Copies of this chain bind each other. A is one copy, B any other.
Amino acid sequence: MATQKDVAERAGVSFITVSRVINGLDNVKPETRNRVEAAIKELNYHPNRQAQALNHGLTHTIAFVTPRMYDLPLYSNFFVMSLLSGVELKGRELGWDILLTTDYDLEGSFDFLRVWHQRKVDGLVFVGFQRFPMEQKGAIEERGIPCVSISDRIESPAISWVDTDNRAAARDAVARLFSMGHRSFAFIGIDADRDYNPNIIEREKAAAEALAERGLAQRRLISESSTPSTGIAAAQAYVAMERRPTAIISGNDSIAFHFIGESARHGLLCPRDYSIVGFDAEPAGRLSTPTFASYEQPLVDMGKTAIGLLVERIGGEAWERKTIEFPMRFVEGGSLGPAPADSHFLSASPKP
């Protein structure tokens, strides 16, 4: 590995001149600069970031912190991957590398600030911040650790966040289904005790509100059992219902996938027997029959924005907290149809 010293020798200057050249300082004679640059090329010299960081303190690396990905449902893959892509892409553009910090121990022992303490990164992007152990969160404000949260609206004045307008989307879903004649609604949520997903929580609340404004109540499809899939459990509950709702709002697309599949196995078909709308607009929803109506979050853009804020924060003297809300976009799909005739409200035992 070539060092500044090697380059300096070859160019016949002192190593400090090399430092000046690579840092683009202007007090170097053009001719000297050229000689140095030639030597850099010849020796394939790259500045040692570790050594640089030791001086001015910047590693030019950012941590992407999120609960473990590998054992999460498909949804999380798409969701997390899209965010990560945005973070990575914009990061590269700005000259920052991304370090993964994904190990999350459910027992709460995850030391997610380790990489910061070790000075491996200059800041952190969080996805699913609320899920992380409380003790460490205090340190962020105390020590002024630069970080940004995605999809979690953190109260702390030290933390900017980026999120989508889940409420507006959920309200739109209700309005849309209502205008198609639906009067009996259910929401497929998650068990808040066993899982945490701020998006789904917001969607459920807003949908309930919008229904209340129309004088309707929202039923909740969720099983307490530890069924591996929320969607399947919800479908089983649905099939067993007395007067089945005709309009289903699913916490997200992944849950809807499972719901539709399991319901079909019991003879209940979409959109014949019910309509369903999800969130996140997963690509798979474009391939299925019927296609899925959904609301799309600009995930890649959210990732990009998050890292933009973070880099600003890290470099900035006059930093200011920002909270950014993106709109969601409705994506058409065949899973939405008119409310079926009254018979469907009745608990006729569905054919298997």
**What residues of chain A have their CB less than 8 Å away from a CB belonging to chain B?**
1, 44, 46-51, 53-54, 59, 61, 64, 68-70, 73-74, 77-78, 81-82, 84-86, 88-89, 92, 97-103, 114-115, 117-120, 139, 257-258, 261, 264, 283-284, 287-289, 300
With A70-B86, A115-B97, A120-B97 known as contacts, the answer to whether A287 contacts B258 (CB < 8 A) is yes
Q: Which of B50, B86, B119 contacts A1 (CB 8 A)?
A: B119
The CA-CA distance from A88 to B72 in the complex, in Å, is 15
State the number of copies, please.
Answer: 2
Q: Given contacts A261-B289, A287-B258, is CB(A70)–CB(B82) below 8 Å? A: yes
* Chain B residue nearest in CB terms to A258: B287
Enumerate chain B residues within 8 angstroms of A77, measured Cβ to Cβ. Answer: 77-78, 81
Looking at the complex, which one of B44, B82, B86, B284 makes contact with A257 (CB distance below 8 Å)? B284
Task: Tell me the complex Cα distance, A51–B77, Å.
Answer: 35
Of B61, B86, B289, which contacts A99 at CB under 8 A? Answer: B61
| Distance (whole angstroms) from the CB of A22 to the closest CB of chain B | 12
Contact B70 A85 (CB under 8 A): yes
Contact status A88-B74, CB under 8 Å: no
Q: How far is the CA of A97 from the CA of B119 in the complex (A)?
A: 13
Apart from A74-B283, A257-B287, 11 more pairs, CB < 8 Å: A48-B118, A49-B119, A50-B54, A51-B54, A69-B81, A69-B88, A97-B101, A97-B120, A98-B99, A261-B287, A261-B289
**In whole angstroms, what is the CA distance A69 to B69 when docked?**
15
Q: Determine the chain B residues whose CB is within 8 A of the CB of A68 once the complex forms.
A: 85, 89
- Which of B85, B86, B118 contacts A49 (CB under 8 A)? B118
Offer 5 A-B interface pairs, CB within 8 angstroms, sorted by A. A48-B54, A49-B118, A69-B88, A97-B120, A284-B284
Q: Could you tell me the distance in whole angstroms from the C-beta of A62 to the nearest C-beta in chain B?
A: 10
Q: How far is the CA of A64 from the CA of B68 in the complex (A)?
A: 17
Whether A118 contacts B69 in the complex (CB less than 8 A), given A74-B284, A100-B97, comes out as no
In the docked arrangement, what's the CA distance between A92 and B118, Å? 15
Contact status of A59 and B69, CB under 8 A, knowing A78-B77, A88-B102, A100-B88: no
Tell me, rounded to whole Å, the shortest Cβ–Cβ distance linking A50 to chain B.
Answer: 5
With known contacts A81-B81, A119-B1, A119-B50, A92–B103 Cβ distance under 8 A = yes
